[in-house]
Amino acid sequence: MALEHAILVSLDERSGSGYELAQRFEKSIGFFWAATHQQIYRTLKRMVELGWVSRHEVAQDGRPDKKVYEVADAGRAELARWLASPSEPETLRHDLSVKIRGASLGDAAALTGEIARHRDLHAERLDVYLAIEKKDFPDPSALSGRRLHQYLVLRGGVRAERALVEWCDEVLAAMREDDRR
């Protein structure tokens, strides 16, 4: 029920086509809200019907025409309404935890390999976030408004990925120690 709102936030930062939005959902906004281009196209269509966004076609030379979407007044109103409404913490679906919990029923070596792979994936993401932090927000104490909010969300990503890396390390150490006995 919140893909619409993620799109509204993104379009408010900058208007764009469905294709451009899909790209933003592969990075930046996608760091905390995943969506594929199919979802985005479908949702944009509905949002036009609701009057939350307006669409105008833009001809381009050498490239296919694109449909640029912009937040409409009704969209801004909906966003304000949603921002003020309470929301519950997301319900978790953590594959790897299920696997660890069931570890004794399968191949332990294959599972530790998988955990190590996840550890590296999270370490990579952490590096990406830290690089963005260093480059785009060198002086956090000077930030305010929109820029501050972007920085704070990025900080959430840093904390989450760091926690995951450390947890994977703890799990690997304990499982290897257990293996040795």
Partner DNA sequence: GCGTACATGTAATGTGTTACATGATTGA
Partner DNA sequence: TCAATCATGTAACACATTACATGTACGC
Q: Which residues bind a second copy (CB under 8 A)?
A: 2, 5-6, 8-9, 12, 29, 31-34, 76, 79-80, 82-84, 86-107, 110-111, 114, 117-118, 121-122, 143-146, 148-150, 152-153, 155-156, 159-160, 162-164, 166-167, 170-171, 174-175, 178, 181
Name the minimum Å distance from CB 163 to a second copy: 4
Q: Which residues contact 56 (CB under 8 A, 6 or more apart)?
A: 67, 68, 70
Q: Which of DNA, a second copy, none does 53 bind, CB closer than 5 to 8 A by kind?
A: none
Q: Which of a second copy, DNA, none does 180 bind, CB closer than 5 to 8 A by kind?
A: none
Residue whose entry in the numeric block shows the structure tokens 């050498």: 62
Positions that interact with DNA (CB under 7 A): 1, 3, 17-20, 22-23, 34-39, 41-45, 60, 62-67, 91, 93
Strand order of the sheet with strand 66-71?
A: 16-17, 66-71, 53-58
Q: Which of DNA, a second copy, none does 152 bind, CB closer than 5 to 8 A by kind?
A: a second copy
Using the CB atoms, write b or e for 4-43: b if 16+ within 10 Å: bbbbbbbbeeebbbbebbbebbeebbebeeebeeeebeeb
d(CA 136, CA 133): 6
Name the minimum Å distance from CB 20 to DNA: 6
